[in-house]
Structure 1
Amino acid sequence: MIVPEHRETDWNLCTESGHLQLLYDFSNISCFILIGNNLDPNLKPLDYVRTVVDQVDMEKLECELKQLVIVLHPKICFRNRVPKTLFLTYEDDVLQRVVIKRFVGPLVGEFVVEDVQLENKEFRRLVSLGKMKKVEFRIDTGTLIVSSVNDRIRQGFSPRALCLGVGGGALLSFLNSKLGFEVVGVEADEVVLSVARGYFGLTDGNRSNLLLEMLYT
């Protein structure tokens, strides 16, 4: 896959978790190679504006890279014949992406806040670029009770939700403002919580039943 220019710092193209997602999306391919500009590892995430791809230049680039890509194939691919090389292009509905600021949290690692324009909407998002420290979660199934939320509401009970991990706060805000849930958001990384408040407008008690808490370990 040839990485489009200025998309080299996208999470799915530069992080281990993103690479695993690509492998999952193309599970029928035996050998997957990403080809892009060799950027400084300390380079900040780049802004991106979609441009029209020159098909002639792309075909020329694929022709120049073909022999190199074949050499990079594992030996097993040559068992019966020279492997067939398929060049993929990375396309999505992102028209423009502007990085607002880069952060580094003690738990989530490096992440950025960016404004994104798609073909039909615009929004702000938080994207993780680093590796999280290994955290183990255990669910106490002995006290887990499953019931119909609608039935509970009709009986006069206020629905409640516990969100482990705040991120930008989109899920918390939706449950709270659109569905009327009493929401408790628990976040273990103080930098993430600060960004949610400063860049996404998430505040303690922006409605009477929204509570944010730090998890101290």
Structure 2
Amino acid sequence: MIDLYYWTTPNGHKITIFLEEAELPYIIHPIDIGKGDQFAPEFLKISPNNRIPAIVDRAPTDGGAPISVFESGAILQYLAEKTGKFLPTDVRQRVKVMEWLFWQMGGLGPMLGQNHHFSQYAPEKIPYAIDRYVKETERLYGVLDTQLIDRPFIAGEYSIADMACYPWTVPHERQQINLDEFPNVQRWFKSMQARPAVQRAYAKAKEVNQVNDMSDAAKAILFGQGRRDSK
């Protein structure tokens, strides 16, 4: 059994997609990041960076004590290795999947996150910041579009790289991206969107968070934390 500490963000969706695809039994423990649940001491023991998602595997393959994992990329890799699914054993194919997983973790997620912040949430609209992150978002979509020219999925076969990237492309309109300008991404996006496991994962999100809005209080919690606040 997997305990999933989760909220309805792109990084959270990555893990529900994997769990649904692999048909692993799991229990969702909602961590409402707009209310500050991520700062609870019991959660920080699992995720010291006070970010979702995180998991506790109650039945690890070594038969030992439960294993906790934080950071969505690390969780995807852990679950893939646990199940033997969505991560090739062939060294060359595996390298490709890991490259694109790290590309998402180091580039696509952080840059699109800044796009969301300055375009949607920042109290002051700063044209330079908005323009900078929209352009970087466009560049990254271009990189992904090129990668998808001659393959159905990012690394060839369906993998954790696709699970990592897809949730960040779901709000493409909010990112000021027109998928018509990225036809290979658009084809891949529709293919991902049609997968039953992906649909089940997003249905779970609606069950967990039916409101899905961002109040001023939630913004203060999410964006107002400094070093002293984390202690």
The answer to whether TM tops 0.5 is no
The structure whose Rg is larger is 1
Greater helix percent: which structure? 2
Q: TM-score, normalised by structure 2?
A: 0.24
Q: TM-score, normalised by structure 1?
A: 0.25
Structure with the bigger RCO (C-alpha within 8 Å, sep 6+) is 2
Greater strand percent: which structure? 1
